[in-house]
Amino acid sequence: MAAAPPAFTGNLKKALAGLRRINLDGLRWRVFDAKGQVLGRLASQIAVVLQGKDKPTYAPHVENGDMCVVLNAKDISVTGRKMTDKIYYWHTGYIGHLKERRLKDQMERDPTEVIRKAVLRMLPRNRLRDDRDRKLRIFSGGEHPFHDRPLEPFVMPPRQVREMRPRARRALIRAQKKEQANRAAAESAKDEEDSKTAKAEVKV
């Protein structure tokens, strides 16, 4: 019950859309914080929770996944050059109309769509997919209108980060050394200025 102002009256409708359609509320509300998470790895965890595959009462014909609330969607990160180079393609159906959009532009337009696409494409394509989509609520900021529900934060499982390849590691070390050199140069420049001003004061 934080002092989070109900600051998104416009999106409130979208956030609460179709809540009535979702049947059982024996479901938990899991909160995912996307800040600093890698896009695909977060999305696969969300997809597992959304299908209800982390419950021992899983049944493939029944939709029993938990409600997933994702916060800070605009702070999601991707590795490599995907920010500029990952392109979403879609075809409108008319001949020659293959449209594309880059991740960067999509994040500017609507950062929630990035996560939503990632998760939806990880769910099995069956009749339960739309219901699962309805259970997924994504917010680009950190505020959501669900404060009166019993929310449970989701702890991401520990990740095994792959060891850096030698060339990448060398590049990283070079970049660090460069930073240190720059910082040292900046400090020495500051010291010179300070000493100059000190001399000026002394003279005066």
Q: Kindly list the residues in this chain that would bind other proteins in the complex (CB under 8 A).
A: 53-60
Give the residue carrying structure tokens 């997919």.
129
Report, in Å, the least distance between residue 53 CB and other proteins. Answer: 6
The dihedrals phi and psi of 112, each to the nearest 5 degrees, come to: -70, -25
Report, in Å, the least distance between residue 76 CB and other proteins. Answer: 25
Report, in Å, the least distance between residue 159 CB and other proteins. Answer: 14
- Beta strands 87-91; 98-102: pairing state: antiparallel
Q: What stretch of H or E contains 29? A: strand 29-33
Which CB sits closer to other proteins, 45 or 72? 45
Which CB sits closer to other proteins, 58 or 90? 58
Q: How far is CA 75 from the centre of its chain?
A: 5
Which CB sits closer to other proteins, 59 or 200? 59
Which CB sits closer to other proteins, 51 or 72? 51
Report, in Å, the least distance between residue 42 CB and other proteins. Answer: 18
The dihedrals phi and psi of 80, each to the nearest 5 degrees, come to: 70, -150
Q: What stretch of H or E contains 82? A: helix 82-85
Residues 143, 8 contacting (CB under 8 angstroms): yes
Which CB sits closer to other proteins, 61 or 162? 61
Report, in Å, the least distance between residue 30 CB and other proteins. Answer: 13
Give, in order, the Cα–Cα distances in Å from 65 to each of 18, 35, 40, 105, 126: 16, 23, 19, 31, 15
